[in-house]
Structures are given as structure tokens and as C-alpha cells.
Amino acid sequence: MTAFNALDAVLLIPLVAAAALAVLPGYRLTANLNVVASLATFLTSVSLFLFEPRSGDYLLVDDLNKVFIVLTTFVAFTTSVFSASYIGHEIEIGRLTPRSVRFYHAMYQVLMFAMNLALVANNIGLMWVAIEVATLTTVLMVGIYRTHEALEAAWKYFILGSVGIALALFGTILVYMAARPVIGEGLEAMVWTVLVQHAAKFDPALLNVAFVFLLLGYGTKVGLAPLHAWLPDAHAEGPTPISAVLSGLLLNVALYALLRFKMLLALNPASIAPGPLMVTMGLISCLFAAFMLYRRRDIKRMFAYSSIEHMGIIVFAFGMGGPLANFAGLLHMTMHSLTKSAIFFTVGHIAQVKGTQKIADLGGLTVTHPVLGWSLVFGVVAIAGLPPLGIFMSEFLVISSTFAREPVLATILVFGILVALGGLFLRLNGIAFGEPRGPSGPVHASYVPMFAHFGIVACAGIYLPPGLVAGFENVAKLLG
């Protein structure tokens, strides 16, 4: 397999699989096919590291997006494994029909395709299109249960997402306008690699306006407060695998887009520094989500807010910039993806076993289901940023590297993290400990994806492989 093919394959495999899944019958077959396709995509994406692929006008592979692609395809693969057993149970209890499952699987692969496309796109227009496709796909998947709540969540997601799409497009057009006088008309003026070369000569005022629109447009997808409104409901009401994908991947993809544009702005000294804007939004998100954790009644919605909080931290880190903070941001993003998706796997199992995702109806999980209960404890410990797990390392770097520069901002962030810790553990106490509540039937699902994620997160807390570190450091330098 040559390198260029690998790049194509990352896009083609999901597309072909989506087509196949749309027509094949039987949920077992389709679920397995889904897993196989995801695995194949993942393996292909790993091969991107082995062969240096050639970048064209439309597709691009560099250090930055390699990290994202591998992460995305890996989580997509583990989620597909989880999804296979999860969906099976959903059919058994009649929440989903075979038809909607077929639709679900096809959409799953379309989503993979869209996200991969967004990541490898070397064209800001193409990237925009890909992210929008990903958004629309998830809208459909969120509404798949067709309950009142699910439809409402999907509708809200759809409307807010559409506005976000529009804003992002306007920003994209403005970037083109800024680039055109320098680069000239046509496709060239939308190609990343070209844009980056000439960014210093762009009209700064235009770039500023563009960035505002892009920040709000893609920020809606990232889930930054106050643009976050779709996120908690979409997470809570959709199927759990989709919650995992949303939190673990889609937010990252939108963030990736934001980072690309941030790099562009950073290269133009006359434009406003994107840092302060991102830092502000990051802090607002982190604080806001931290407070929102306290009064949650739905376990999935709670973790959705936790995603907002972490996205806030990540955006804060990237906004602060500098090699340490950028490294921390990348690490945090990776760890958050792995941890949060694993938490959603756990929560999915819990919700299936207990037949509810209301926190009030859950209790004493470590007694009735020790594996699930302790996994949840582990997940919350990890997501709350306690050592020796991965997120601690990134939070350590974010806070310690920014406190010397911006003590007030770092203090606010610390406050947010602490409030969030309080909120998460307040609810965890009720769910995992105390008097057991609810049924205590056996779990019919695969623990493998959950354990795999938690294993990686645990290892990363104390040991990062040098290759990964070198990659992250490169990217951190790129991000300036």
C-alpha cells in the first residue's frame, strides 16, 4: 500500500462501508461490518505514520492532523466495538428497530468519513463542508430514538448547528477575501499550505473579522459556552455510542479547525492575537460547566457538561500558547477523548443494566456491579484530573506553565477545575456508593473498549512514549 493510497483509504473505507451498511440486512452482520471497517480505517491511519504521504491541493497530512486522525480512528474503532454490543441490547429491549439500526450504522460510517475528511482537508472550504456533514449526520443520529426528548435535542442541535455552520462559512469566505489579493483568485487562496505561506501579508482587519466568525462558528461545535446549548442534550438523548463519539471526536475535529485558523492568525503579526479571545471563552466554558455539574439529574448530561469544561481547559491552553501549554492542550485533548468516551461506554452499560440514566435512580453501583462501579469511579477520577492518570499530567502542565505568566487567569482556571471536581464527585458519591438502588442484573456487553481506553489513560499518566512526545512537541511548536 503506498502512502497516497493510505490517505485516500482513510476516506474511502468509511464511504464504501457506509454504502454497504445502508443496504445490508441484519444487525449482527452490519455491526460486525461496522467494526471491521472502523478497524481497517484505524490501521490505515496508523500507516500514515509509516509512509510519509504526499499532500495535494485537497488533502493534506502533516504532524498536526496525523495526531488527530489516529486518535479519531482509534476511538471510532473502539466505539464501534462498544456500539456492536450496545445496539444489540437496544434492539432486544425494543428501543431501536432493525431499520433504524441499519440507518444508524450507515450514518456511523458517514460520520467517520466526514470527520476524517475534515481532518485531512487541505482546503478551508472542503474542511467546512466536511464538518457540516459530520454535524448533520450526528443530528440524525441524536434523534434516532424518536422520543420527545431525543427529537427536541436533535432539533436544538440542528438549529444551533446550522447557525454555527453559517457563521463558520462567513468566516471562511472572509479568509478567502483576505487571501485573494495576496495569492490571487481561485482555489489556491483556500489551500492551507498556501495560506500559511502568505499569511503574514493578509489584510489583518479582515482576518480579525474572519476569526470572530470562525471562533463562533466552529466554537459552537466545540461546545464553548455560551454556544454550548446543543451539547448537553445531544449527548444525553442520543444513543450512548454517539455520545462517546460526540465528546471524544467531533468536538476535537471542530477544535482542530479552530487551531488551524489560529495558526493562520498567529502568523500575521498585525492581526489581533487570537489567544485572549480563546482564553476568555475557555475560561467561561470551564467555569460555567463546572457550576452546571452540580444540579444535574441525568448522568449523561452531567458528563456532557464535563466535556464542555474540558473543552474550555483545552481552548484555554491553546489560547495561552507557548510550547508547554500547547503540548498540554494536545495531551489534554487526547486524554479527554479517551477518558470521556470510556466514561460514556461505562455509562452506557450502566444505563442499560439499570434501565435508567437518572442519577437519582442509581446508587451503590460498586456493590451491585463492581466492575462498572469501579470503572465509573476510575473514569471520574481520571476526568477530574487526579493522578496518576493522563489528564493530571496535562492539567499540571497547563496550570504550572500559565501561573507564572498569568497568575489571575490560572487561578480562575484552578477554581473552575476545583468546582468541577466537587460537582463530579458529589454525583459520583450517589451513583457509585451508598445504598444500592435499581436492578442488579448481569451486564451483557463487552468491557474491552472501556478497559482499553482506561488502560491507555492510566499508562499515559506516568509514561508517554517518546515518539508520541516528539510528535506532540513538533505540533506544539507549529501552533506557536
* Contact of 176 with 190, CB cutoff 8 Å: yes
Nearest distance from residue 346's CB to other proteins, in Å?
18
Task: Name which of 51 and 170 has its Cβ closer to other proteins.
Answer: 170
Nearer of residues 40 and 174 to other proteins, judged by Cβ: 174
In DSSP notation, 52-71 reads -PPP-SSB---HHHHHHHHH
Cβ-based nearer residue to other proteins, 418 or 448: 418
- Alpha carbons within 13 A on the beta-carbon side of 173: 6
Cβ proximity to other proteins, 25 vs 466, nearer residue: 466
| Coil vs helix vs strand at 272 | coil
Query: Please, are residues 436 and 363 in contact by the beta-carbon 8 Å criterion?
Result: yes
Site residues (CB under 8 A) for other proteins, limited to 441-470:
461-464, 466, 469
State the number of binding residues for other proteins (CB under 8 A): 110
Pair 308, 289: CB distance under 8 Å: yes
- Residue in 248, 275, 312, 364 binding other proteins, rule: CB under 8 A: 364
Residue with cell 466545540: 222
x/- letters, 384..413, toward other proteins (CB under 8 A): x-xxx---xx--xx-xxxxxxx-x--xx--
Please report where in the chains the cell 489584510 appears, as a residue: 203
Closest residue by Cα to residue 282 from 409, 166, 396: 409
**Position 58 contacts other proteins (CB under 8 A):** no
In the complex with other proteins, the residue whose CB is nearer, 11 or 417, is 417
CA 281, distance to chain mean position in Å, is 17
Q: How far is CA 289 from CA 224, 313, 424, 429, in A?
A: 9, 11, 11, 19
Q: How far is CA 76 from CA 17, 57, 234, 319, 413, in A?
A: 14, 27, 18, 27, 30
Least Cβ distance, residue 462 to other proteins (angstroms): 5
Binding to other proteins (CB under 8 A) within 1-30 occurs at: none
- Please list every residue from 84 through 143 that binds other proteins, using CB under 8 A: 125-126, 129, 132, 136, 143
Q: Which of residues 197-236 bind other proteins (CB under 8 A)?
A: 203-206, 208-209, 212-213, 215-216, 220, 226-227, 229-230, 232-233, 236
Residue 50, classed as helix, strand or coil, is helix
Each residue 267-306 as x (binds other proteins by CB under 8 A) or -, in order, gives -----x----x----------x--xxxxxxxx--x-----
Place of cell 487561578: 411
Applying the rule CB under 8 A, the residues between 155 and 194 that interact with other proteins are 155-156, 158-160, 162-167, 169-170, 173-174, 176-177, 180-181, 184-187, 189-190
Min. distance of Cβ 176 from other proteins in angstroms?
Answer: 5
